[in-house]
Amino acid sequence: MSQITLTFPDGHARDYPAGVTAAEVAASIAPSLAKRAISASLDDRHIDLAWPIAASGSLAIHTMKDEAPALELIRHDLAHVMARAVQAIWPDVKVTIGPVRDYGWFYDFDRAEPFTPEDLGAIEAKMREIINAREPVRTEIWDRARAIAHYEAAGEPFKLELIDRIPEGQDLRMYWHGDWQDLCRGPHLQSTGQLPADAFKLTHIAGAYWLGDASRPMLQRIYGVAFRNRDDIKAHMTMLEEAAKRDHRKLGREMDLFHMQEEAPGQVFWHPNGWNIYVTLQDYIRRKQRGDGYVEVNTPQVVSRTLWEESGHWDNYQDHMFIVEVDEDHARTKTVNALKPMNCPCHVQVFNHGLKSYRDLPLRMAEFGSCNRYEPSGALHGIMRVRGFTQDDGHIFCTEDQIEAETRKFIDFLSGIYADLGFDGWRIKLSTRPEKRIGSEESWDRVEAALGNACKAAGHDYELFPGEGAFYGPKLEFVLRDAIGRDWQCGTLQVDPNLPERLDAEYVGPDGAKHRPIMLHRAVLGSFERFIGILIENSAGKLPLWLAPRQVVVASIVSDADAYVAEVVAALRAAGLRAEADTRNEKINYKVREHSVGRVPAILAIGMKEVEERTVSLRRLDAQGSRSLTLTEAVAQLAVEAAPPDLR
């Protein structure tokens, strides 16, 4: 029998017979490791303990202490256990697929009757029963004919379609959790008893088309979350409760910021309060960009198909584009255009207009570009996932030698904006060359090193994601962490030599010859719509005074104070504050409660004492009690707080 060599994380190596399993390797190292082992990684590929290892490589044995592989297995196994539980309770239900996702999993079912929230409790109880039975998990490789015969006999049409989608010659792996069987790539745990019975929760039910195709059957999707222990899931459920309180759709209604409606799916109707946030944020970004050397442009919404073909978007992105056909000059021949889904090709057109020299580089170009992308209706989510949005889009045209300096400059630029907006906790992901790529290895080496060096020079570490870059260049992604621990990927910087090549962008170098520029796609916020949603949820609607849509309400305690209320409002507005009067015939406590629900940061209460003394009683949102200030003091103090961070 041939021998293979397995190298362990500590650098030691051992020889084993070909076909040895990771379980057998663990047992050869220590009985205690064999007992604790849950899976392994072979050359960074996550494998099942029961799979035979045919060739030499690097092997790491995982236990429940290894968070990433442990969570993947727990969530994947629970998807199977949930499907088994559903079919145990309702034997006529047909199963489809159940992938792992953030924090948990989902599984799609074909059932005539709708699942109810009460059903989730019954399914959970059956799942715990299966887990507590501690039944073994086993796996086999089947040939295609056997698998087809099995699922035809079981009456599982969705599994038959999945088999048909698997390329000929590829293994068909079957897994059994106890006596319940599923087609699955694996890996899985070795026993249902390894699952934490007190660390999972079924959360909700939703509809989903089979394989995401609206022309296919509508299925029922059950979602679950799972962690390694009870404390972790308790913390997660607490976070979900807090997230529900902070939901930007709920706060958007309470603060009267925006609404959505069926006649314009995925489009935002901004109300005056919401638009105040929008333009204040946009004005702030505009000033920051100008200060950092950007020129601002504006490009067309509707662009001919020919440009999208030249840029490559027509072939690769057409399904996400809104097509516009126009009968030009009634010629009875329609011209095909598209609403722009991104701004990049249009910015190259601006660059191409007129001769550019190396002395013009780097050229930093920015646009608040309104874009439209088709998103499936089921993917839309408030203002976080929309079809019409505006990006704080920017493109830096530079030479390869300028990439590192421009990247560092952008990281510093982004860092200052995130700090001003209340996000100190963020990290950088560096995605490097994929398997299929263009360009020389030497060029990739230089550009990847430039991005990494720029991060370090800017004082930031980065997390490496090998193979996740675009086919034409590496990229940086900037991930925010909000007040309740959720991550949001917002900022990006993408190195792109491809689009300037496709669209024939050139500059004259110091040698007098024409050269291609490198294009750096960059954004700080991403889209204004999504980022405003993140801001609302991060702050629970309690935005800082400079961003608050309604900054100050001046509320009368008695009607005799109305004239002074008007004077106070006028003084605040003259100082640049968004101030409004509330002289309704209501009690002051009622007014304070109502404006607190609307997240107004400052309420000035005015009674006869304030009128006589020319003072105001300042109440802060969520603060206990109030402070008495002269009108001059109050206006000066609030005006300072209301100034955007870059103007203080």
Would you list which residues are annotated within the binding site for Zn(2+)?
344, 395, 521
How many CB atoms sit inside 10 A of residue 16's CB? Answer: 18
How are strands ordered across the β-sheet holding 172-177? 137-142, 172-177, 180-183
Does the active-site annotation cover 344?
Answer: yes
User: Is 346 designated active site?
Assistant: no
Q: Where are the beta strands (DSSP E) in 123-254?
A: 137-142, 172-177, 180-183, 200-209, 218-226
Q: Which of 391, 402, 494, 551 is catalytic?
A: 391
Tokens 């002395």 correspond to 359
Comparing CA positions, the residue from 200, 244, 27, 190 lying closest to residue 103 is 200
End-to-end CA distance of the chain: 76
Query: How far, in Å, are 79, 115, 213, 216, 486 from residue 378 at the CA level?
Result: 22, 19, 11, 14, 22
Count of helix runs (H) and strand runs (E) in the chain: 20, 35
Name the CA radius of gyration of the chain, rounded: 30
Q: Using the 8-state DSSP alphabet, how is residue 145 labeled?
A: H
Contact 192, 130 (CB under 8 A): yes
Which residue among 221, 356, 395, 522 is the active-site one?
395
Please confirm, yes or no, whether 393 is among the known catalytic residues. Answer: yes
Amino acid identity of residue 175, one-letter, is Y
30 in helix, strand or coil? coil
150 is catalytic: no
Alpha helices in 271-402 (DSSP H): 272-291, 305-311, 313-317, 344-352
Q: Which of 188, 201, 340, 373 is catalytic?
A: 373
Question: Which of 150, 159, 305, 521 is an active site residue?
Answer: 521
Q: Is 184 annotated in the active site?
A: no
The whole-angstrom separation of Cα 450 and Cα 420 is 27
Which two three-digit tokens encode residue 309? 């073909």
Catalytic residue among 475, 550, 599, 619: 475
Residue carrying the six token digits 């236990």: 63
Clarify whether 595 is annotated catalytic.
no
Residue 487 contacts by C-beta under 8 Å, 6 or more apart in sequence?
479, 480, 481
Q: Output DSSP code: residue 267.
A: -
Q: Which residues are annotated as a binding site?
A: 344, 395, 521
What are the structure tokens assigned to 527, written together? 């889209």
Task: Give the whole-angstrom CA distance, residue 59 versus residue 46.
Answer: 10
Please indicate whether residue 475 is annotated as part of the active site: yes
Record the tokens describing residue 267, joined without a space.
């489009």
Residues with a catalytic annotation lie at: 344, 373, 391, 393, 395, 475, 521
